[in-house]
Amino acid sequence: MHNSQLLKVYKFGGASVKDAAAIINLVRIVREYQADTPLLIVVSAMGKTTNALEELFDLAYQGQEYTSALTRLEAFHREAAQQLAPSLGQDTQATIKAAFDDAFDALRAQLAAVNCHQDYDQQYDQIVSFGELLASQLVAFVLNDTHPARWLDCRPLLRTDESWREGRIDWETTESNLRAAVLPQLQQVHILVTQGFLGGTASGYTTTLGREGSDYTAAILAYCLHAESVTIWKDVAGLLNADPKIFADTVRYPEISYQETIEMAYYGASVIHPKTIKPLAVRQIPLYVKSFLAPAAEGTKIHDCRHGLLAPAYILKVNQCLISFESKDLTFISEENLEVIFGALAQARLKINLMQNSAISFSVCTDFSSQRLDKLLSALREQFTIHYNTGLELYSIKNYDAASIQRLTHHRDLLLEQRTRQTFQFVCRQHLQ
């Protein structure tokens, strides 16, 4: 392929490959795509497979019985292949069976080798990565039955460091690896299918990029290969102003800037993995969010655009904790105090979602983790009087107006609120439905 500017990247998440019917729908979407320009497809693990693999690994790590969980996972994948079989040629069926035989043998061997005296996170990556390996092979071979398509193992190409479970990309190596390996193949076949969420270290170990990281993979590939666009296929109509599972009357943004999208992801909008936007923005690659249930519908275009006033976006983070620090002698909170507090928060790996200062106290809202909170309390208890509340919610309204604030606040007791020019945020007790 001479002109990688024509390359498109499609990302199919877990819901879009959750069973045989979903995979048939994926094939239909790809078939409708004009296959005269190259297409790189990124696939996540089927449905809830990653959660199942996490549980499986946990059992193995704790030295508990895991065979029935493994049998269930294997049966789920074999069954999907079985259901697809009638529409596939004999060769394809045999290829899938052989690939699954190999993958499950490898998974069994990995599980048997789990060692509770060795690093948890490193071993987690070697096992939890099987979901993407299985799904991408199934999709590649099913597609190849009717359109020439090839499976691509991204792990030797997408180079990361050894930050297990949140591998950090070595951009230079990754870019040169991908260009050398992928561009020539796309001259031979127009469709390549690879895994989301995975990378590999220089010494050949598998890494994962953080839960829900397949969107990020699509962006890494698009960046390195100078793709023309990325499309993320989801079970919603595009980028919405709120999660329809939580809020009624959502609206879709037909187009939105990279900047707005990054900010929404930061506040906790779950529609796109937060790391996805930056590589795309740097190379000005548009990101389309479309529904795999209504592929002809418009969806959302995320790109470098200016827009007028956007509908307010409502974002909820649950399971929050509000922590207040007071100096013990009633002196004002000073920069020196803040330095100590921030240091302890970083040590405890507590990420600040919101903070506020008053004369003698300083408050932060963080995701709740009892372990991390304990660590923080023991580090700071001597120096500060600390109060905290758990079981809280943090709401952010981006591009708020009076009506949107009223909509969310009128029936809630706010423990803390804050507004900037664009964003209104508040912390309140968890709202029991």
Q: Which residues bind Mg ion (CB under 5 A)?
A: 14, 44
Q: Is the Cβ of residue 11 or residue 317 nearer to ligand ASP in the bound state?
A: 11
Among 47, 199, 213, 286, binds ligand ASP (CB under 6 A): 213
Question: Which residue of the chain is nearest ligand ASP when measured via CB?
Answer: 214
Q: Is the Cβ of residue 195 or residue 324 nearer to Mg ion in the bound state?
A: 195
Best CA proximity match to 327, nearest among 366, 354, 362, 288: 362
Q: Is the Cβ of residue 298 or residue 367 nearer to ligand ASP in the bound state?
A: 367
Query: Cα separation of 1 and 4, whole Å?
Result: 7
Q: Is the Cβ of residue 289 or residue 344 nearer to ligand ASP in the bound state?
A: 289
Picked from ligand ASP, Mg ion, none, the partner binding residue 201 (CB below 5 to 8 A depending on kind) is: none
Picked from ligand ASP, Mg ion, none, the partner binding residue 95 (CB below 5 to 8 A depending on kind) is: none
In single-letter form, the type of residue at position 262 comes to I
47-76 footprint of ligand ASP as x/- string (CB under 6 A): ---x--------------------------
CB-count exposure of residue 311 (10 Å: 0-12, 13-18, 19+): middle
Picked from Mg ion, ligand ASP, none, the partner binding residue 131 (CB below 5 to 8 A depending on kind) is: ligand ASP
Among 38, 47, 131, 167, binds ligand ASP (CB under 6 A): 131
CA 177, chain centre distance (Å): 23
Q: Within positions 86 to 125, which residues make up the interface with ligand ASP, using CB under 6 A?
A: none
Options 42-50, 73-81, 286-294, 405-413: segment touching ligand ASP (CB under 6 A): 42-50
8 Å CB contact between 198 and 257: no
Q: Within positions 255 to 314, which residues make up the interface with ligand ASP, using CB under 6 A?
A: none
Pairing of strands 313-327, 361-367: antiparallel
Query: Cα separation of 216 and 44, whole Å?
Result: 11
| Distance of closest approach, residue 77 Cβ to Mg ion, in angstroms | 15
Using CB under 6 A as the binding rule, whether residue 201 contacts ligand ASP is answered as no
Picked from ligand ASP, Mg ion, none, the partner binding residue 211 (CB below 5 to 8 A depending on kind) is: ligand ASP
Using CB under 6 A as the binding rule, whether residue 199 contacts ligand ASP is answered as no
> What are φ and ψ of residue 329, in 5° steps?
-100, 20
DSSP classification of residue 134: H
Using CB under 6 A as the binding rule, whether residue 341 contacts ligand ASP is answered as no
8 Å CB contact between 290 and 25: no
Options 2-10, 146-154, 212-220, 323-331: segment touching ligand ASP (CB under 6 A): 212-220
Q: Is the Cβ of residue 14 or residue 299 nearer to Mg ion in the bound state?
A: 14
Best CA proximity match to 25, nearest among 219, 234, 215: 234
8 Å CB contact between 223 and 212: no
CB atoms within 10 A of CB 254: 12
Burial 46-73 (b: 16+ CB within 10 A, else e): bbebbebbbebbbbbbeeeebeebbeeb
Among 4, 8, 14, 232, binds ligand ASP (CB under 6 A): 14
Q: Is the Cβ of residue 131 or residue 200 nearer to Mg ion in the bound state?
A: 131
Query: Cα separation of 72 and 345, whole Å?
Result: 40
Q: Is the Cβ of residue 44 or residue 404 nearer to Mg ion in the bound state?
A: 44
| Tokens 């329809």, located at residue | 244
DSSP per-residue codes, 135-170: HHHHHHHHHHTTS-EEE---TTTSBB-S-TTSPPB-
Options 142-150, 208-216, 284-292, 354-362: segment touching ligand ASP (CB under 6 A): 208-216
Using CB under 6 A as the binding rule, whether residue 197 contacts ligand ASP is answered as yes
Among 8, 10, 12, 13, binds ligand ASP (CB under 6 A): 13
Binding site for ligand ASP (CB under 6 A): 13-14, 44-45, 50, 131, 196-197, 211-214
